[in-house]
Structure 1
Amino acid sequence: MYQVVLLILSVVLLLVLISKLRLHAFLALLLVSLLLGIAAGMPLTEVATQVAAGFGGTMQNIGIVIICGVIIGQILENTGGAQKIAASILKLVGMKKATLATAISGGVVSIPTFCDAGFVILNPVIRALSRSGNIPYMCLVTALMTGLLTTHSLVPPTPGPIAAAGILGADVGIVMIYGLIISIPVIGGTYLWCNSKFLKKKYPELAPIDAVNEEQNEKFKEIVAHAPSTFMSYMPIVVPIILIVIRSFVMQYAQKGPFWYDLVVFIGTPYIALLIGAFAAFLLPTKITEDVSDGWISKAISGAAEILLITGIAGCFGRILQTIGVGTIMADAIAGLSLPSIVLPFAISAIVLIAQGSATVALTTTAAIILPLLGSLNISPELAVIAIAGGSFCGVFPQGSYFWCVTKLAGYDIKKGYVAVTATTFIMGAIAFVSILILSFIVH
């Protein structure tokens, strides 16, 4: 029981350090991991060894994957490929369902791209769409916010679900499939809110026009004018997903031995598949200059550094929890609660999100907490990742950077921000919970 008290105290301390004292998540997780090991009575040398092993083991699983994913997103952003994807979806769905097209566009673009960056990229698109289609801007803002955040949290290779999968030892291909399945009801269900009469009547205003917006529109038009084809824009996203998913099916249903088996397993290994996707992304620029091959990649790697460090250090926290035996002690307690297995990972993730604001931190921290409890939950690592991911967007408040990214770019005050972001993410979370609960009855 002493270990359970230490777990609760360590989580409380972690949230206080991050949300109240504003200590960076990397230092907070490292400090709490060390203190947890010492408080549990582990020898000091063993604490140091286990923390280092936790960091190295986690980075081994997901380090290259995250970097390659960020590179793909950076190239899509710089070449206009992301805008081309959005335009193709709008053309397919039609102007009459522009709000739905916006949500789907956000969902596709955010698979390799950070949701914050995705909103920056596509905001000029929805501004122009609002004015040309006479559509309330609030409807498009909430739809874009929803699509971006949904796949950012649920579908690899974005850093959060990849990190959680690495910590829990989940099959990335299966996580992708589950994530895509859950994304459909989350985006579709929340679309009803985004396109509701309530929002249209309460916030009927079209996107405003000012000098800053006009300048953004001109830059947007210039990027799109030199954008790659729609087919080529999809390639860096679709190819890795196909390779990873095929690998998962082959490993599950085919017999080992033939050369083709080894080849499929090799190229479908997540970091190999993402590396292939990254090189496919190099086909998007009209010319490969030093700025493309070095400058863009350096920017992407710099952007990935923080996520990599937080993910690795969350692995340290999980390693210490495993070492002190929290999972064994909590197994009987969880079994006696008679709750659906997904409740605990979903709820912890939502609490961590609300406390500190970052979906990625919520995913990695919760995965570390759930790791020693996974056996007692009686669910697969893949389903645990999806449950954590669903909770990681349930309630985005002003302490989260995404709240301010959406609010400021939309030109909203904090009251409108609560409607566009906070209220919408609670709706997303509720739909995700029900959808994941239903999925858990099918796949376990």
Structure 2
Amino acid sequence: MELQLLAALLVGVAAVVAIIVWTRLDAFVGLLAGALVTGVIAGVPVTELIEHITTGFGNTLAGIGIVIALGVMIGKVLEESGGADALARMFLNMAGKGREDVAMTATGAVVSVPVFCDSGFVILHPLARSLARRYGKPLVTLSLALAGGLSITHHLVPPTPGPLAAVGLLGADLGTVILAGGLMSIVLIPVVVTYARIMGPRLEKQLDPDLVPEMAAAGSGSSGTGSGSASGSAGTDAEPTAPERPRVNPLVAAIPLLLPLLLIIGNTVSTAAAEGTAVAELFTFIGNPAIALLIGLAVAVYVLPRRGTPRKTVIGWLTAAAASAGMIVFITGAGGAFGEVLRQSGVGDALGEAVAGWPVPMFLMPFIIATFVRLAQGSGTVAMITAATLSAPVVQSAGVDPTVAVLSACAGSFVFSYVSDSYFWVVTRFTGLSGGAAVKMWSGMSTVLWAASLPLLGIAALILG
């Protein structure tokens, strides 16, 4: 690889990581700065460099920006209407007594498809505590099961923003990724349950009474679940409001979640099986991700809120969702800008040629990149986007199936969630663990999922090519 292009890549990536980890600026600025640094060192003329950045930003968001925003809005309505809680109770009834941990894992896996896992844990953790008290189950076991279930689909199944962004950046078919990511999530559920059953009882005695008020005053239902952190304040807000959430029919709650997914999958299947027919043309329209999620949002808005909910309230939910989705959209666009600079400057092609001889299967390149980025800066979403951005030229030139590349980038971001990851604090503080026990609880779980995903990626690569 030419030294100038190698230097451009290394310094550009270093700039991204340094800005995210050590400055007050975020991943959006870091990725744009990395694109600028890479382009300048690679010798791209300044006027062309700006054009590459704006083109990459715009092209990426043209395909994925609307979908991210709509997906987050559906999740917000599901969260605020009580739909998420209804799904949790349905899975508990289905699993039966003695399998509460299985029910919590399955609930988390379903809820986290449209809802951010941090919010999902805040919403559902009171239910986990209630089950622990009622049936004498270890609280850590149920908390781990819930957190693991939320994490699986958050990392693997669109329209969660990270996988959705990776789909756009790597040019994969969304329906195929939903199917493959869903199957991979199902296989990982027993991994979550097993780890929760092994580690939960061992860590239960290390619960901190200051973080779990009912240990100090049994049955108090205190609102001070967290302490001295953002997650603590979130717990203070979440506890009083949880009982006040309206009861929603769980089958109704599932409609806005399943309908868009079925339409998108229907588009993929009909295109493959009946291309050129009227049915395929219909699904091409309604199964377009933006249209499918728009339909899902309309259903959610008019079906989930209880009768009499003011229009202003629902609009407030959607406004809040748009605000939370905004930064994900920007980061995704910046990742597209960085990727365009890598392609147009020749860095991507040079990198592809350089790593072609490495003793590592090409489908693992996104996995490796995501692993290092996740360890460096903590955010799984940023790790997915960065891995998809940097690996796109390599996997495309190597002929790696785009779906496998997306799953590889997403699975690599599981690794060792620690103090730089906000979800680490939400899970451990709401549960009542700190220090080494917190690391064994959640850092251990996330790393086990990372390791368990490796053989599944190998199988996916064999099947999809």
Give the TM-score taking structure 2 as reference length. Answer: 0.91
Is 1:233 matched with 2:253?
Answer: yes
Larger deviation, residues 37-46 vs 15-24: 15-24
Offset at residue 219 of structure 1 (A) = 2.5
* In structure 2, C-alpha distance between the alignment counterparts of 1:348 and 1:388, rounded to whole Å: 8
Kept in 1: contact 2:203–2:441 (CA 8 A): no
Partner-residue secondary structure (3-state), 1:61: helix
Match of 1:409 among 403, 427, 430: 430
Kept in 2: contact 1:322–1:371 (CA 8 A): no
Offset at residue 222 of structure 1 (A) = 1.7
1:307-345 deviation digits (Å, cap 9, x = unpaired): 111111111100100111223223333332242232211
What are the residue-to-residue correspondences of 1:203-218 with 2, within 5 Å? 203-204=204-205, 208-209=213-214, 210=220, 211-212=222-223, 217-218=239-240
* In structure 2, C-alpha distance between the alignment counterparts of 1:438 and 1:260, rounded to whole Å: 32
* In structure 2, C-alpha distance between the alignment counterparts of 1:377 and 1:101, rounded to whole Å: 41
What amino acid is the match of 2:223? V
Kept in 2: contact 1:243–1:273 (CA 8 A): yes
* In structure 1, C-alpha distance between the alignment counterparts of 2:170 and 2:37, rounded to whole Å: 23
Kept in 2: contact 1:327–1:376 (CA 8 A): no
Offset at residue 430 of structure 1 (A) = 0.4
What are the residue-to-residue correspondences of 1:4-403 with 2, within 5 Å? 4-196=6-198, 198-204=199-205, 208-209=213-214, 210=220, 211-212=222-223, 217-223=239-245, 226-256=246-276, 258-282=277-301, 283-287=303-307, 288-403=309-424
* In structure 2, C-alpha distance between the alignment counterparts of 1:293 and 1:189, rounded to whole Å: 38
Kept in 1: contact 2:8–2:37 (CA 8 A): no
Structure 1 stretches of 4+ moved >4 Å: 204-208, 213-218
Partner-residue secondary structure (3-state), 1:336: coil
1:47-102 deviation digits (Å, cap 9, x = unpaired): 11110011111111111111111111111111110010011111111121111111
Partner-residue secondary structure (3-state), 2:362: coil
Offset at residue 208 of structure 1 (A) = 4.7
1:75-134 deviation digits (Å, cap 9, x = unpaired): 111111001001111111112111111111100000001111111111111111111111
Kept in 1: contact 2:36–2:49 (CA 8 A): yes
Aligned residues: 440
* In structure 2, C-alpha distance between the alignment counterparts of 1:141 and 1:441, rounded to whole Å: 35
* In structure 2, C-alpha distance between the alignment counterparts of 1:277 and 1:239, rounded to whole Å: 6
Q: What is the CA RMSD across the aligned residues, in angstroms? A: 1.7
Give the TM-score taking structure 1 as reference length. Answer: 0.95
Kept in 2: contact 1:136–1:204 (CA 8 A): no
2:232 aligned residue = none
Offset at residue 235 of structure 1 (A) = 0.4
What amino acid is the match of 2:143? V
What amino acid is the match of 1:162? L
Offset at residue 153 of structure 1 (A) = 1.0
1:377-435 deviation digits (Å, cap 9, x = unpaired): 33111110000000111111101111112122223223222122111100010011121
* In structure 1, C-alpha distance between the alignment counterparts of 2:329 and 2:193, rounded to whole Å: 32
1:154-196 deviation digits (Å, cap 9, x = unpaired): 0000100111101111100001011011112222113211111
Question: How high is the sequence identity, in percent, across the aligned residues?
Answer: 35
Partner-residue secondary structure (3-state), 2:99: helix
Offset at residue 12 of structure 1 (A) = 1.9
Offset at residue 273 of structure 1 (A) = 0.5
Kept in 2: contact 1:66–1:159 (CA 8 A): yes
Kept in 2: contact 1:137–1:204 (CA 8 A): no
Structure 1 gap segments, 5+ residues each: none
1:11-37 deviation digits (Å, cap 9, x = unpaired): 122111111234211111111111211
* In structure 2, C-alpha distance between the alignment counterparts of 1:193 and 1:184, rounded to whole Å: 15
What amino acid is the match of 2:319? S
What amino acid is the match of 1:232? V
Larger deviation, residues 141-150 vs 4-13: 4-13
Offset at residue 361 of structure 1 (A) = 0.6
What amino acid is the match of 1:319? E
* In structure 2, C-alpha distance between the alignment counterparts of 1:239 and 1:393, rounded to whole Å: 28
1:230-281 deviation digits (Å, cap 9, x = unpaired): 111000110011000110111122121x333211110000111111111110
